[in-house]
Amino acid sequence: MYALVDGNNFYVSCERNFRPSLKTRPVVVLSNNDGCAISRSNEAKAIGIRMGAPWFECRQLAEEHGAVALSANFTLYGDMSNRMMGIAAGMGPGQEIYSIDESFIDLVGVRGDLVKRGQDVRERILQWIGIPTGIGIGPTKTLAKLANHVAKSADRKPGSYPKEFARVCNLAALPAADLDSVLEATNVDEVWGIGRRIAKQMNDEGVMNVRQLVQIDPATIRRRWSVVLERTVRELQGQQCISLEHEPPPKQEIAYTRSFGQPVRSLFELTQAVTEFASGAAAKLRLQNGKAGQINVFIHTSPFREGPQYSRNATVPLRRPTSDTLLLVRAAITALQAIYKPGFNFIKAGVMLLDLQDGSVEQHELALEDEPETRSALMGTLDRLNDRFGRGTVLMASAGLEGKERSWAMRQNLLTPQYTTRWDELPVARA
């Protein structure tokens, strides 16, 4: 038996926690460079602001309804996520953190009323950190995910499902007739792992809801679509096919890409950006105790802007696999210098670490002069300082300093304070 604990409109809920005046207003959190809507309050959804909608397209609509737009404050969201996951872990003996606002809980061996247990955990999260959640419970992860959809829909869309399913829903506790009614009321595109394209194909063949889907022979699903979708259908039928991942598997590639706050033309500015991206990718690599054998760098202009277009990338093989920031930055700059061409307005760049290997496997070869044994200790110190005092506390000189010199930096004109991670930005309660 599994539970899925999911924060409602998570980014917006984090912001509202520290600005109570926003709790009844439409609120939208925007993506990098304040581009598109990536989180919306229920009020923002009600006035017609779509997920992923460019902000410039819905700005007038938002102004008419008094909506508030905010830049994404990922430092705040990450810290609030850690707090929420810590509380949610008390629901059962095992936990898989699936995303920043979702975690699966293994309920094996947990006795008693699971709905009551879920309600207690939900109230604890709401009281302790102010984040509303929905909890779905089911005998498989796919059914738990579906139950979570039912719980959240019944809460915010009265009439879509019976009100007793609101906030916490246990599909395993429903009589067969009630479960059939829930599955019949749920469209196939609401199932975890079924996207719009596959849902449309199913609709074209007369499969409109989940009840119709689970009545299909899984072998037919495999022949018509894929073994992955067959596994989804078997999970919907109650057969456990997807186990809990207590540790996320190591990534096969690590990418660090960003759009610039404004177009960049000079090699100097691009070098700053690529240095920061390579440094960030190296830190991610060390988190999974890995090493990279190659590094890829790309730059490109915007196809939506007037002017000449240019897009290039280059891959540099490393002399031996490494997670050393200095060596990775050096290789990234070498790649950038090979592909840079003056006279273009570059809008995005990125770094990808390829050919990743387990860093615990020793090569047992002669050390190279440019990578002394003491460098790993230096990298560990670098990571600890940036973890403790904030990302960018210690950086490579070629990344430049924050301020006017870094005109390429991401645009966040509507950014709120880092309420929980910076002493000088702690919220103050006044009498």
Asked whether residue 246 is assigned to any structural domain, the reply reads no
- Mean pLDDT (the chain) is 89
Residues 67 and 81 in one domain: no
- Confidence band (pLDDT; 50, 70, 90) for 404? low
Q: Which tens digits make up the pLDDT trace of 148-177?
A: 999 999 888 877 888 888 999 999 998 888
Residues 154 and 285 in one domain: no
Asked whether residue 161 is assigned to any structural domain, the reply reads yes
Residues 288 and 370 in one domain: yes
pLDDT of residue 307: 87
Asked whether residue 411 is assigned to any structural domain, the reply reads no
Residue 360 has pLDDT above 80, yes or no: no
For residue 81, the cross-strand partners are: none
Q: What is the CATH number of the domain that holds 52?
A: 3.40.1170.60
Residue 374 has pLDDT above 80, yes or no: no
Residues 208 and 82 in one domain: yes
pLDDT of residue 261: 81
Residue 361 has pLDDT above 80, yes or no: no
Distance CA 131, CA 127 (A): 8
Beta strands in 309-415 (DSSP E): 311-322, 346-358
pLDDT of residue 378: 87
Across 377-399, average pLDDT: 84
Give the whole-number percent of the chain exceeding pLDDT 90.
Answer: 67
Across 102-124, average pLDDT: 94
pLDDT of residue 323: 93
Residues 299 and 271 in one domain: yes
Across 345-360, average pLDDT: 91
Q: What is the DSSP string of 100-161?
A: TTEEEEE-TT--S-HHHHHHHHHHHHHHHH---EEEEEESSHHHHHHHHHHHHHHHHSTTSS
pLDDT of residue 19: 92
Across 138-150, average pLDDT: 95
pLDDT of residue 421: 86
209, 199 contact by CB (below 8 A):
no
Task: Write the CA distances from 327 to 278, 282, 335, integer angstroms.
Answer: 10, 10, 13
Q: How many domains does the chain have?
A: 3
pLDDT of residue 279: 94
pLDDT of residue 210: 93
Residue 367 has pLDDT above 60, yes or no: no
- Confidence band (pLDDT; 50, 70, 90) for 391? confident
- Confidence band (pLDDT; 50, 70, 90) for 123? very high
390, 420 contact by CB (below 8 A):
no
Residues 314 and 374 in one domain: yes
What is the C-alpha R_g of the chain? 24
Asked whether residue 424 is assigned to any structural domain, the reply reads no
Asked whether residue 377 is assigned to any structural domain, the reply reads yes
pLDDT of residue 423: 85
Residues 62 and 122 in one domain: no
Asked whether residue 196 is assigned to any structural domain, the reply reads yes
pLDDT of residue 409: 77
Q: Considering Cα of 378, then 380, then 383, then 386, what sign does the dihedral take?
A: negative
What range does the domain containing 56 cover? 8-75
Exposed/middle/buried for 110, CB within 10 Å: 0-12, 13-18, 19+? middle
Q: What is the CATH number of the domain that holds 392?
A: 3.30.1490.100
Residue 366 has pLDDT above 70, yes or no: no
Q: How far apart are the first and last CA of the chain?
A: 47
Residues 190 and 284 in one domain: no
Q: In 39-113, which ranges are continuous DSSP H helix?
A: 42-46, 55-64, 74-88
Q: Which tens digits make up the pLDDT trace of 3-57?
A: 999 999 999 999 999 999 999 999 999 998 888 999 999 999 999 999 999 998 8
CA angle 245, 249, 252 (to 5 degrees): 155
pLDDT of residue 402: 61
Residues 301 and 312 in one domain: yes
Higher per-residue confidence, 87 vs 375: 87
Residues 54 and 108 in one domain: no
pLDDT of residue 313: 96
- The structure tokens 């700059």 sit at 333
Higher per-residue confidence, 235 vs 245: 235
pLDDT of residue 32: 84
Residues 320 and 384 in one domain: yes
- Confidence band (pLDDT; 50, 70, 90) for 371? low
Residues 59 and 201 in one domain: no
Residue 278 has pLDDT above 80, yes or no: yes
